[in-house]
Amino acid sequence: MNTLNYQIRRIESFYDTSTNLEEVLEEIEKNISNKQEELRVIQDSSGYYKKSQDILYEKSVGSLKKLIDSALSFIFYDKNYEIIINLEDKRGAKNLNFFLKDLDNDLEVSLKNGCGNGVRSVVSAILNLFVLVNKGSKYLFLDEKYSY
């Protein structure tokens, strides 16, 4: 009789443990579901953030292009130059590539190695001014060493 009572208590204990484990499992499944929902929201908001950053970059690059184009047309008044700015992602960072286009000769060259130092100096000075103005700086030091 003792062994029968012992076996009955073990079975009852098993059912109690089984019920507790089911409750724990349900709680874990709820937590997993909540975390998956949080992850989805984070991924969605990350995508929206990247899109908004791209829009802001495009607007900023557009105003920079207009500024450089007007400086080139004012300084090189006898040439018909236009700057081309390509915005691209490299290794998770935004990069700008600059090209100079001669509209009269329909020629496009890299600003890095395809044009003269005069054009590079003008573009470099405008870029420095653009950054300083956007950062709210009140001072600008011009030196030949930093011209390009």
Q: How many Å apart are CA 41 and CA 46, to the nearest integer? A: 8
Distance from chain centroid for Cα 34: 28
Q: What is the largest CA-CA distance in the chain?
A: 113
Helix, strand, coil percentages, rounded to 5, for the chain: 65, 15, 20
pLDDT tens-digit readout, 69-120: 999 999 988 988 999 888 787 887 778 888 999 888 888 888 888 777 888 8
pLDDT tens-digit readout, 25-34: 889 999 999 9
Q: How many Å apart are CA 129 and CA 106, to the nearest integer? A: 29
Per-residue pLDDT band for 43 (boundaries 50, 70, 90) equals confident
